[in-house]
Amino acid sequence: MERRSALKNIGGLLLAPSLALGNTTPAAKPSLRIAHITDVHLKDKFDAPARFTRCLHHLQQQTPKVDMVLNGGDIVFDMNKETIGTINDQWKLVQNIMKNECSLPVHYCLGNHDIWWYEDDKGQAIYGKKYALDKLQLVKPYYSMVKNGWKVIVLDSVHLDIDNTWYIGKLGEEQLNWLNDELKATDACMPVMVMSHIPILTALLMIEDDIVNKWTMLGGDMHTDTAKIINLFYQHPNVKLCVSGHLHMRDKVVYNNVTYLCNGAVSGAWWEGNRRETAPGYGLIDLYADGTFEEKYVNY
């Protein structure tokens, strides 16, 4: 089933001529250093376990040390229409590697490949997001935390389309109301970082071969409720940074003083080389007490 077309005319949305694509920070120690890993797509193939282990060791050897890891989803290779035995094997591999090879706290959001949409087994108790939530010991797929003066909000951006056969990127009414309340309850002086799996805003969808004067932006590749989220962030200037993955490529868009950062995949092109010009890697993000930040993409 093809994903629905979400946005067909982006107009001037991505134009930010007066804004630089980065933040200037003081020469001070960051309040919080985060490693953003996304799209690991772990399975026992392509030498993926050893390569993911190398990535985890690499980020734990950074100086200054990383304080925590944010995993942006697509944790396992794929749960879509897989048998329960294959799903169990993939998650067992994840749990063993994280237990044995990573000593840092890790916080997760769900990607589209972390959801079980086996159409013939919708009556199963673990159908949908429940299986992954149980494995990650999460009550809900969206939540927030306060770390060293920053609020970090983790969103659930993957939902079934209207025909219940494929996914689109959105928050949905319940989660959008929750996000609105969450931002209202946050001290206006506390900076906010947001993580989603599917990008809220990205320019990467314009990178297609053989396109002349017209792009189609699919609802599974970028949030379909982008305008609503951007308007909400505009009401809360303490929202500084949004990070995502999903597309396995890296870009950075600045709009209304919010930086929308899509990082490349730990798995690159699903463990088979680069995804276009983006090599396998992870994001390294330094958050400062004054609400500024620095970030870079690290190949491991």
Matching residue, tokens 């044995």: 100
Torsion of CA 10, 11, 16, 18, to 10 degrees: 180
Q: Which residue from 163, 175, 196 is spatially nearest to 4, judged by alpha carbons? A: 163
CB 80 within 8 A of CB 43: no
DSSP secondary structure code for residue 228 in this structure: H
Residues 6+ apart with CB under 8 A from 24: 292
Whole-prediction pTM: 0.89
Q: How many residues are there in the chain?
A: 300
Q: One digit per residue, pLDDT tens: the chain, 300 residues?
A: 333 334 333 333 333 333 334 454 445 899 999 999 999 999 999 999 999 999 999 999 999 999 999 999 999 999 987 888 999 999 999 999 999 999 999 999 999 999 987 666 666 666 789 999 999 999 999 999 999 999 999 999 999 887 776 799 999 999 999 999 999 999 999 999 999 999 999 999 999 888 887 888 889 999 999 999 999 999 999 999 999 999 999 999 999 999 999 999 999 999 999 999 999 999 999 999 999 999 999 999
Torsion of CA 112, 116, 118, 119, to 10 degrees: -70
Residues forming a β-bridge with 169: 158, 223
Strand 281-287 relative to strand 251-255, pairing: unpaired
Angle at 183 between CA 133 and CA 11, to 5 degrees: 95
Matching residue, tokens 């992954």: 132
Whole-angstrom Cα distance, residue 36 to residue 54?
15
Whole-angstrom Cα distance, residue 124 to residue 107?
27
Q: What DSSP line would sit under 158-177, residue for residue? A: EEE-TTSSSEEE--HHHHHH
